[in-house]
Amino acid sequence: MHQTRRSVIKAGGAAALFAVFGGVLLQPGRALAAWNKGAFEAKNIADAMKSVGVANAEESKAIEIRAPEIAENGAVVPIDITSNIPGTTSISVFIEKNPFPYTGTFDFSQGAVPYVHLRVKIGESSPVRVVATAGGKHYTTAKEVKVTIGGCGG
Amino acid sequence: MADPMKIRATLQGDVADVRVLMAHPMETGQRKDAAGKLVPLHFIQTITAQLNGKTVFTADVSQAVSRNPVFAFKVKGAKVGDKLSITWQDNTGDKRTDELVIRAGS
């Protein structure tokens, strides 16, 4: 009797563990399915922007890019981006002269402020182009970053 | 399993300033090792942040993000006791989730 009860407790514990981890593991699956492979593999900024769906972005001064004018180490270039466009839901980043310019898209919802800080690798001096999306429209601005030591090769 | 993330959330009024450091090599697929062989692509692709179970911030990123990535974002309407959960997944399918309870003055 004692043996049986032990094994039941063990089995129950395993099921509970599975429920906990199963739930956690399921969440990122949806995000991964949406990862835009075509855009990330585009080798020039025009194709990358087209693949992301922001090719028709209009110039805007309401997007702030804070990045060093001259980055000593291209392997770690800090960038702060703030969109002052009301209703901004996402921010996309392109480093024009990197081998693959599309660096990423950040989506904001449920009270998240349209601000992001990230650190990127920049292979050679290049404009960093940011596109903010608000109300289905795209707005863009760019800032030149000069790099003295590239951050992509070895 | 990768090393834990370091997550910090600072409350300024009702805005949580979240900063996260992830331990990841972020290999670009272009770097050569000591033997001259290309190190294969290995990088974080997606990041999801949830506040009390609601998704507030997601990111799809490329290998151009620096090694041991640092990200910061801000969430309005956060308060003490809220649970913040951050998950990343890389191109090999490896993933990691870490959680933080937002505390006063932390």
- Residue A105 to residue B57, Cβ atoms within 8 A: no
What is the architecture of the domain spanning A37-149? Sandwich (2.60)
pLDDT at A14 > cutoff 90? no
Residues of chain B with C-beta less than 8 angstroms from the C-beta of A95: 64
- Residue B60 to residue A34, Cβ atoms within 8 A: yes
H-type alpha helices, A72-129? none
| A106 to chain B: closest CA residue | B59
The beta-carbon neighbor of B60 closest among A35, A113, A152 is A35
Residues of chain A with C-beta less than 8 angstroms from the C-beta of B78: 111
ipTM for the assembly: 0.95
pTM for the complete prediction?
0.84
B2 secondary structure, DSSP code = P
Output Rg (C-alpha) for chain A, integer angstroms: 22
Q: Three-class SS of residue A16?
A: helix
CA angle, residues B23, B29, B35, in degrees to nearest 5? 95
Do the domain assignments include residue B79?
Answer: yes
**Residue found by looking up tokens 């180490």 in the block:** A73
CATH number of the domain residue B42 falls in: 2.60.40.10
Do the domain assignments include residue B106?
Answer: no
Count Cβ–Cβ pairs < 8 Å, chain A vs chain B: 128
Domain that holds residue B44: 6-101
Residue A107 in tokens: 């989506």
Best of B66, B90, B94, B95 to disrupt the A interface (most A CBs within 10 Å) is: B66
A123 pLDDT band, cuts 50/70/90, is very high
Minimal CA separation from B5 to chain A, in Å: 15
B28 touches chain A (CB under 8 A): yes
How do residues B17-60 score in pLDDT, each as one tens digit?
999 999 999 999 999 999 999 999 999 999 999 999 999 999 99
The beta-carbon neighbor of A121 closest among B66, B70, B77 is B66
Q: Which amino acid is present at B55?
A: T
Q: Check: CB of residue A90 under 8 Å from CB of residue B57.
A: no
B37 touches chain A (CB under 8 A): no
Minimal CA separation from B72 to chain A, in Å: 5
Taking alpha carbons only, the member of A126, A115, A102 closest to residue A52 is: A102
How do residues B59-75 score in pLDDT, each as one tens digit?
999 999 999 999 999 99
Q: What does chain A come to in residues?
A: 154
Q: How many domains does one find in chain B? A: 1
Q: Check: CB of residue A108 under 8 Å from CB of residue A88.
A: yes
